[in-house]
Amino acid sequence: MDYTGFLANIAILVLSGFIGFAVISKVPNTLHTPLMSGTNAIHGIVVLGALVVLGTAENPGLPLQIISFVAIVFGTVNVIGGFVVTDRMLAMFKTRPVNTNTTSATDGKN
C-alpha cells in the first residue's frame, strides 16, 4: 500500500466515525439493547481480517494456522450469534397493538 491509499483509508476512518455518531444518536433508549447487540454483531466483521491473514499467507506454519483457526471460530461466533440474538430481540418489538381505546377511556375518567 502506498501513502495515498493509506491516507484515503484514514479519511474513510474519520468520516465513518462521524457517520456513526450521526446515525446512532437518533436511536431511542428503548432500542439501546438491540443497538448494542447489533453493533456487537457488526464488529464481528473482524472474522474477515482473520480470513485475510490466513488466506493470503503463502505457506502458513502451524502456529499461524492454529492462531487463525481460533480467530476465525471466535469471529464467526461473534457475527452469527450477534445477528441471531438481535433478530430475536427485535422481533419482540415488532407486533404492537395500537391501544388507543384504553388511553382515551382513562383520560375521560380523570
Partner 1 sequence: MDILVYALYILAFAMFILGLSGLTAPRSAVRGNKIAAAGMAVAFVATLIHIRETSSWLIIIIALIVGVIIGIPPARKVKMTAVPQLVALFNGVGGGTVALIAWGEFIESDGFTGLHVASGPVLPLVIASLFAAIIGSLSFWGSIIAFMKLQQILPGHPLSVGRLQQPLNAILFLGSIVAAVIVGIGSVDTGANPVWFVAILVLAGILGVTTVLPIGGADMPVVISLLNALTGLSAAAAGLALNNIAMIVAGMIVGASGTILTNLMAKAMNRSILSIVAGGFGGGGTQGAGAASSGDQIAKSTSAADAAIKLAYANQVIVVPGYGLAVAQAQHAVKDMAKVLEARGIEVKYAIHPVAGRMPGHMNVLLAEADVSYDAMKEMDDINGEFSRTDVTIVIGANDVTNPAARTDPNSPIFGMPVLNVTESRSVIVLKRSMSSGFAGIENPLFFGENTTMLFGDAKKSVAQVTEELKAL
Site map for partner 1, 14-33, x if CB under 8 A? --xxxxxx-xxxxxxxxxxx
CA angle 10, 55, 71 (to 5 degrees): 80
Q: What is the DSSP letter of 95?
A: -
Quick check: helix, strand or coil at residue 6?
helix
Residues between 67 and 96 with contacts to partner 1, criterion CB under 8 A: 67-94, 96
User: In the bound complex, what is the minimum distance in angstroms from residue 104's beta carbon to partner 1?
Assistant: 11
User: Does residue 104 bind partner 1 (CB under 8 A)?
Assistant: no
Site map for partner 1, 49-68, x if CB under 8 A? xxxxxxxxx-xxx-xxx-xx
User: In the bound complex, what is the minimum distance in angstroms from residue 100's beta carbon to partner 1?
Assistant: 9
The owner of cell 439493547 is 33
Are 75 and 41 spatial neighbours (Cβ–Cβ below 8 Å)? no
